[in-house]
């Protein structure tokens, strides 16, 4: 049954739509981050909730949110099927499963914003951290989440630097897109490492409000020396990753 579902044209099309919606999401996050760096007056958070909230502010954007629900749902199910059907190593199955759950979470987030009930990702991250801290060994759990997030960031940098993303595509995307993808993966990796670091700070200071997700990470980078230029580079990296995502929607191995 899983193999029959995997080969359904509707599911494969939804998965490709999911990659295209990824492009829209990263494009918006990149623009909001640029606005943050250059104080252009954007009021949205520079993260998923800010991007989805911007879409929810107009009719066409709300239409795209419903498209995102379908696309990310299809992409999540496709990755979970790969976790079940993959004949690779355990780590490959776990990677597929983690990606599948991530896309399902994004589908749920898009659904919430499409219905008008979405909330801030930064606040959700702080609430999640507070919930972990209230558990036995809570500080250790938050540190573990931070280390895992840093590990994901390092993985993104490695994947971009070594061009490992080419294995996700059916054919070469072209030299320009390849360079944009490398830049995008590395920029996302840097941002995720800072996000993981904020979890660590929250644990060490026993303050869940320090864990503020991507928006908080970019604002932390903005306070560093040459922070405006660092955030600008990260923002351009997200935009570069958006371009790659649009190409991936066509050329992905699904």
Q: Give the phi and the psi of residue 252 in degrees, each rounded to 5.
A: -65, 150
Helix (H) or strand (E) holding 244: helix 227-251
Is the alpha carbon torsion for 53, 112, 121, 72 positive or negative? Answer: negative
Instruction: Write down the pLDDT at residue 141.
Output: 92
φ, ψ of residue 168 to 5 degrees: the values are: -85, -5
Q: Which of 233, 208, 236 is nearest to 221 (CA)?
A: 233
Reported in sequence order, the residue ranges of the chain that DSSP labels E, i.e. its strands, are none
> At 231, is the pLDDT very low, low, confident or very high (cuts 50, 70, 90)?
very high
Query: Do 114 and 66 contact (CB within 8 A), yes or no?
Result: yes
C-alpha span between 193 and 180 (Å, rounded): 20
Q: Which one has a higher pLDDT value, 137 or 2?
A: 137
Contacts of 21 by beta carbon, 8 Å cutoff, 6+ apart: 64, 67, 68, 71, 72
Q: State residue 42's pLDDT score.
A: 64
Cβ neighbours of residue 235 under 8 Å, at least 6 residues apart?
A: 29, 30, 31, 33, 34, 36, 37, 46, 218
* Per-residue confidence band for 120, with pLDDT thresholds at 50, 70 and 90: confident
What is the SS3 assignment for 169? strand
**Domain layout of the chain by residue ranges:** 2-251
Residue 76: predicted pLDDT: 93
Whole-prediction pTM: 0.90
Query: What does the pLDDT read at residue 124?
Result: 84
Residues 245-254: what's their mean pLDDT? 92
- Check residue 192 and give its pLDDT: 94
The tens digit of pLDDT for each residue in 85-119 reads 877 677 888 888 999 999 999 999 999 999 988 77
């Amino acid at each position: 049954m899983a193999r029959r579902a995997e080969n359904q044209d509707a599911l494969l099309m939804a998965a490709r739509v999911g990659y295209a919606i990824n492009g829209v999401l990263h494009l918006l996050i990149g623009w909001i981050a640029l606005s943050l760096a250059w104080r252009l007056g954007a009021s949205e958070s520079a993260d998923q909730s800010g991007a989805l909230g911007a879409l929810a502010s107009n009719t066409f954007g709300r239409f795209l949110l419903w498209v995102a629900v379908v696309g990310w749902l299809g992409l999540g199910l496709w990755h979970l099927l790969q976790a079940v059907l993959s004949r690779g190593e355990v780590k490959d199955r776990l990677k597929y499963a983690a990606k599948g759950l991530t896309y399902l979470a994004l589908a749920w987030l898009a659904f919430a914003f499409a219905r008008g009930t979405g909330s801030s990702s930064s606040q959700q991250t702080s609430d999640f951290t507070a919930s972990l801290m209230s558990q036995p060994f809570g500080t250790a759990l938050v540190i573990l989440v931070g280390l895992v997030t840093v590990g994901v960031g390092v993985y993104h940098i490695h994947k971009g630097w070594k061009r490992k993303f080419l294995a996700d595509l059916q054919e070469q995307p072209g030299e320009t897109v390849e360079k944009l993808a490398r830049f995008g993966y590395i920029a996302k990796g840097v941002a995720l490492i800072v996000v993981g670091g904020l979890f660590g700070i929250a644990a060490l200071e026993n303050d869940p409000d320090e864990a503020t997700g991507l928006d908080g990470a970019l604002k932390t980078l903005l306070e560093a020396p040459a922070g405006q230029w660092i955030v600008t580079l990260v923002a351009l990296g997200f935009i570069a990753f958006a371009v790659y995502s649009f190409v991936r929607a066509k050329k992905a191995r699904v």
